[in-house]
Amino acid sequence: MIKAMDKEKIFVLLEDDVEVLGNGQGHVFYREYLPVSRYLTLLKKYGLVSTFYVDMAHYLFLKENSHCKDFGLQAGYMEQTILNILKNGMEIQLHLHSQWVDAHLVDNEIQVTNMWNIGKLQQEEQVKLVTKAMESLTMIINKSDSINPITSFRTGSWGMQPYQTLYTIFEKLGIKTVMGPIKGLKIPRLGIDYTHMQSGHCPYYCKSSDINAIGDDKGSIVLPMTPTYLSLTDLIRYSVQVKWKGFLKKYDHDLDLNKTVLSTVYKDPTAGKDVFNFSLRPFKTHLKMNAQPFWLLKKTFRRSYEMVLHSKHDFKLMVVETHSKDFKNSFGSIEKFFDHITTKYDNLQFVTANELLKLVNEKKVKPLVKDI
């Protein structure tokens, strides 16, 4: 058991992106409804809470094109997924992948746009997208008996620059916490550059004009994705496992993916974001739980934990990014991981986005603010 004093309590935010693949491939029943249902069972078994960020840009696309294929049915499954999450005592917040704006069908296949950074949309497009998404998500939540204010936003593909328009929209709509920025991340083709973030892991109030910069104690609170890393040994071991899984996957065809489209049409705009370097920490990344093996989940979590625990900041938070769309063959590893962190650590407090905001409002935790 890893023990610590009360003052060294670490908050853990499990955030799940409820979505299909960024390129438009994938079916809601297979990528959202089924894996989320099973994930909820595991969360409740271990007494954990998670905040589920639902991609409402995809939902709006499905509703607007409900006459095509089975899109109306898929929209219905998204609504049912949201209601199931609430029924199981978890939380719903807003997620948006802006490439769904103006997406259309080409040869009966979904073609998303190359606008993967919501901050690069025109101002009126940003206002329309966020407003309609909030309205639709609120309507679905109101079908339940849950009280679930929408106060948090998770951007798609990490892009939120430039931030001025989003800052203003979020102020108006009551969005208080935002996620996406990762210190050091730079994707020039998407206009993303977080190399100058002034806090790598501690939450901070940001400037309206610059999401990288710490601002006054008002407006948006950035919850940075928690850094971690793989050692050279980890990298070799994981690469071998990925290669082996890739070999086995030749005989594991996903019914909801068109492999021809994936191999001939799709170009990933986020490709190249991962940077290797020759050091004792050759692969720096952020804390995540997708399809990783248990040993890697345990190691990366431990490294982030040690960093946050020994941080000079009083507000100690770990954000764990999860993608239930990738959980299909990973539930065994996830269960081992949950068993590990709930039995080996005694100073972790799992919170939802709204619970975290309540702690801020009650001044029990303080995001960083600009020095006067």
Torsions phi, psi of 36, nearest 5? -65, -40
- Res. 280: pLDDT tops 60: no
pLDDT in the model for residue 256? 87
Mean pLDDT of the region 26-53: 98
Q: Can you tell me whether residue 154 is helix, strand or coil?
A: strand
What's the pLDDT band for 247 if we cut at 50, 70, 90?
Answer: very low
- Helices within 65-217 (DSSP H only): 71-87, 123-141, 164-173
CA atoms lying within 13 Å on the CB side of residue 247: 5
**Could you tell me the two tokens for 179?**
């996620």
- As a whole number of angstroms, the distance between CA 59 and CA 37 comes to 18
6-361: CATH, from 3.40.50.300, 3.30.420.40, 3.20.20.370, 3.90.1170.50:
3.20.20.370
- As a whole number of angstroms, the distance between CA 234 and CA 102 comes to 41
For the chain, give every domain's residue range: 6-361
What's the pLDDT band for 249 if we cut at 50, 70, 90?
Answer: low
With vertex at residue 136, the alpha carbon angle to CA 133 and CA 137, rounded to the nearest 5 degrees, is 85
Query: Global pTM?
Result: 0.95
- As a whole number of angstroms, the distance between CA 318 and CA 38 comes to 24
pLDDT in the model for residue 321? 98
Tell me the pLDDT tens digit for each residue of 288-347.
Answer: 999 999 999 999 999 999 999 999 999 999 999 999 999 999 999 999 999 999 999 999
- Res. 368: pLDDT tops 80: yes
Q: Worst-scoring range by mean pLDDT, 42-56, 223-237, 246-260?
A: 246-260
Neighbours of 106 (CB within 10 A): 10
pLDDT in the model for residue 240? 83
Mean pLDDT of the region 231-251: 72
Tell me the pLDDT tens digit for each residue of 67-95.
Answer: 999 999 999 999 999 999 999 999 999 99
**Could you tell me the two tokens for 170?**
């979020």
- As a whole number of angstroms, the distance between CA 97 and CA 61 comes to 11
